[in-house]
Structure 1
Amino acid sequence: MEMDAEAFETLVVDELDRLPDDMVDGLENVVFVVEDRPEDGSLDLLGLYDGLAVTERGSYGMGELPDRIVVYREPHLAQCDDLDEVRDEVHTTLVHEIAHYYGIDDAQLHEMGWA
């Protein structure tokens, strides 16, 4: 599957807009970023939550850098055969990484069918 960076970013924004309001309304000081690949160059990692889960932090102060949710374009495209699969996988990745923001770990995500 091939898709340029701009089209993939648009797809990610569209999928983010489709998520339930109660899932995204609680997000505070989080930015969503699209990158081509993880730093190690692998195609295994689809997304990453880079931050401290709400369950493990106090409140943010002035000047705190935002947490980041990264969605990797090339791994998604390598694992999907068509546009519908890409959309589904991006949706799952967003839910998965947002869940980490809320303090839900991989074991819990696996039990819920999102890992």
Structure 2
Amino acid sequence: MHDEVDEHAWLDLDGAAFEALVVDELDRLPDDMVDGLDNVVFVVEDRPEDGSLDLLGLYDGWALTERERYGVGELPDRIIVYREPHLAACADEDELRDEIHTTLVHEIAHFYGIDDARLHELGWA
């Protein structure tokens, strides 16, 4: 039997299956956290531009606290969730769901202007 999980083996989820988990975890977030998101899209990409596995997610845009610099008709800000770094970091689907959830909260917090130091204080970083 092959019940043992190799610590270095990645979870095997293709882009569509991973994206479905991201959508599911988004649906589990509190409404008041998600309802305030304005002009933000969620994107799943395989890896960051540098090809590393170190970065799980990225908020690409202006925080709500800096939106006075925003122009009319701005392209949406993006919250990017990187698939391969998540798969490399997690041993099973439960751990993967937890990590996706944490990444979403972390990046959404950046939208609201909450920095990494404050996230660390709150136990999210």
Q: Is TM more than 0.5 here?
A: yes
Q: Distance in 2 between matches of 1:62 and 1:51?
A: 14
TM-score where L is the length of structure 1: 0.97
Structure 1 equivalent of residue 89 of structure 2: 79
Listed as ranges, the gaps of 5+ residues in structure 2 are 1-10
Structure 2 equivalent of residue 100 of structure 1: 110
Structure 2 equivalent of residue 6 of structure 1: 16
Instruction: Classify the secondary structure of the residue corresponding to 1:85.
Output: helix
Q: Is the 8 A contact 2:56 2:86 kept in 1?
A: yes
Amino acid at match of 2:102: T
What is the deviation of 1:25? 0.6
Pick which of 61-70 and 76-85 moved more: 61-70
Q: Is the 8 A contact 2:62 2:70 kept in 1?
A: no
The question of 1:111 aligning with 2:116 is answered: no
What is the deviation of 1:48? 0.1
The question of 1:62 aligning with 2:72 is answered: yes
Q: 2:32 pairs with 18, 22, 27, which one?
A: 22
What is the deviation of 1:63? 1.9
Q: Distance in 1 between matches of 2:112 and 2:73?
A: 22
TM-score where L is the length of structure 2: 0.89
Structure 2 equivalent of residue 43 of structure 1: 53
Listed as ranges, the gaps of 5+ residues in structure 1 are none
Q: Distance in 2 between matches of 1:62 and 1:110?
A: 34
What is the deviation of 1:62? 3.5
Write the deviation string for residues 86-112 of structure 1: whole angstroms up to 9, x where unpaired: 000000000000000000000000000
Identity of aligned residues (%): 82
Instruction: Classify the secondary structure of the residue corresponding to 2:68.
Output: coil
Please tell me whether Structure 1 or Structure 2 has the larger radius of gyration of its CA atoms: 2
